[in-house]
Amino acid sequence: MELRILIGVIFICSHFVRAQDQNQWVFDGQASVVANYAPDNEGYGLLMGRYLPELYYDLTLDSSQSLYFEGSANIYGSATFFKGDSSRTDGAIQPYRIWMRYIQNKFELRIGLQKIDFGSATVLRPLQWFNEIDPRDPLGLTNGVYAALGRYYFSNNANIWMWMLYGNDRTNGLDIINSNKKAAEFGGRIQYPVPRGELALSYHHRSADASELLHSTDFANIPEDRYGIDGKWDVEIGIWFELSYIHKHEELGILTHQNWLTVGADYTFGIGNGLNVALEHLVTGHSDKRISFENGTSITATTLSYPISFFDKVNTVAYYNWRLKDVSFFLNYEHQFKKLTGHVMGYYNPKTPPRMQEFNFVNNFAGPGLRLMLVYNH
């Protein structure tokens, strides 16, 4: 069904573009090949190819109005190799983005399958409500959500967001419970400049579907409210915080109330070409009490990024879980060729890695591993 929608939208957009101006439409895409080796896993090897074709069109209506159309697909195939000389293949063609944007002066409205992303944190992100971006993924891939998003920008750099979602049933970010696909979701965000930085307030309402988790249809439509506040400042060093509180209007024990708080800072040292170091600390809580950090954990993450040259750079991401005493480490060396980008990545994950989403397959392998990636953009 989603594939037919994608093909239909792309056909309509391309037909509209041809009717207006043959030279206005643009087709591009991104192809990537991944090889992964993780000897401590039953499925120790992975080969994957992915292609994200994109068709878009930018139509200027007049000096203050424009329309923008975008349609793209996620086409992938993979082979997993298991100990004992067995293997498994997988593949699909899925919609990746299908949306239209209308812009008038300081207002924009975007409708369709899109990415919605906001917040101040960079690695440990309590406000990752609508995507599953993994900070270790050089491509930043994530599933989109079906939504209507409106934004207005004021002259003092303040801005207000309003959104409505429908037809989404995936979990995103730190979600534990799916959304009810047949219930509308809505919310908004206000960002306001303050001396040396900005503050923001966010809110979202949805109906959570815990029927699969709790094995009962009585929990298929649980009202849920999310509240968020975040801020960031540049005071010699960069500092930020991000707080999310989630309240379900049904008694679900420790899942009734959820709290996440991240604080972070970064600084670029004058070493060589500039070494950027960032540090974040997250505390979480799941409780039947409104504000509590019981039954949670604390995680510290650090990132280092260093540009070796104009064509080469290296970055690392490391996590430490204080409750489980687990360490995760990720190292990425990137080289820019003339038309290609190459990545050599090494990593170590705990023996019991946390649940991740479709695109975050790096973290699905426990123990040490090596990952090679080649990316071509056209």
Cβ(13)–Cβ(55) below 8 Å: yes
Cβ(118)–Cβ(347) below 8 Å: no
Check pLDDT > 80 for residue 265.
yes
Q: Where are the alpha helices (DSSP H) in the chain?
A: 2-20, 211-214
The model's pLDDT over 129-158, given as tens digits with 9 standing for 90+, comes to 999 999 999 999 999 999 999 999 999 999
Q: Which of 51, 53, 68 is nearest to 7 (CA)?
A: 53
In this prediction, residue 61 has a pLDDT band, given cuts at 50, 70 and 90, of confident
CA–CA separation, 257 and 313 (whole Å): 42
The mean pLDDT value for 191-211 works out to 95
Query: How many other β-carbons are positioned within 10 Å of the β-carbon of residue 105?
Result: 10
Check pLDDT > 50 for residue 369.
yes
The model's pLDDT over 23-40, given as tens digits with 9 standing for 90+, comes to 478 999 999 999 999 999
In this prediction, residue 220 has a pLDDT band, given cuts at 50, 70 and 90, of confident
CA–CA separation, 371 and 35 (whole Å): 6
Q: Which of 314, 3, 358, 348 is nearest to 138 (CA)?
A: 314
Cβ(334)–Cβ(343) below 8 Å: yes
What's the chain's length in residues? 378
pLDDT at 8: 54
pLDDT at 145: 96
Give the pair of three-digit tokens for residue 194: 């303050």
Q: Mean pLDDT for the chain?
A: 89
pLDDT at 217: 79
pLDDT at 356: 43
Check pLDDT > 90 for residue 330.
yes
Check pLDDT > 50 for residue 294.
yes
The mean pLDDT value for 289-313 works out to 89
The model's pLDDT over 7-20, given as tens digits with 9 standing for 90+, comes to 555 555 455 444 44
Give the pair of three-digit tokens for residue 24: 């206005």
pLDDT at 290: 75
Beta bridge partners of 43: 82
Own/partner pairs, 363-366, CB within 8 angstroms, 24+ separation: 363/134, 363/136, 363/328, 365/36, 365/38, 365/40, 365/41, 366/38, 366/40, 366/41
Residue 3 vs residue 365, higher pLDDT: 365
Cβ(248)–Cβ(208) below 8 Å: yes
Q: Which of 350, 342, 346, 343 is nearest to 330 (CA)?
A: 346
pLDDT at 22: 46
CA–CA separation, 373 and 359 (whole Å): 14
Check pLDDT > 90 for residue 100.
yes
E-strand stretches of 176-236: 178-179, 185-194, 197-209, 222-235
pLDDT at 315: 97
pLDDT at 210: 84
pLDDT at 358: 45
pLDDT at 19: 45
CA 124, 283, 161, 149 dihedral sign is positive
pLDDT at 364: 73
pLDDT at 361: 47
DSSP string spanning 158-186? -EEEEEEE-S-----TT--SEE-TTS-EE
Cβ(102)–Cβ(65) below 8 Å: yes
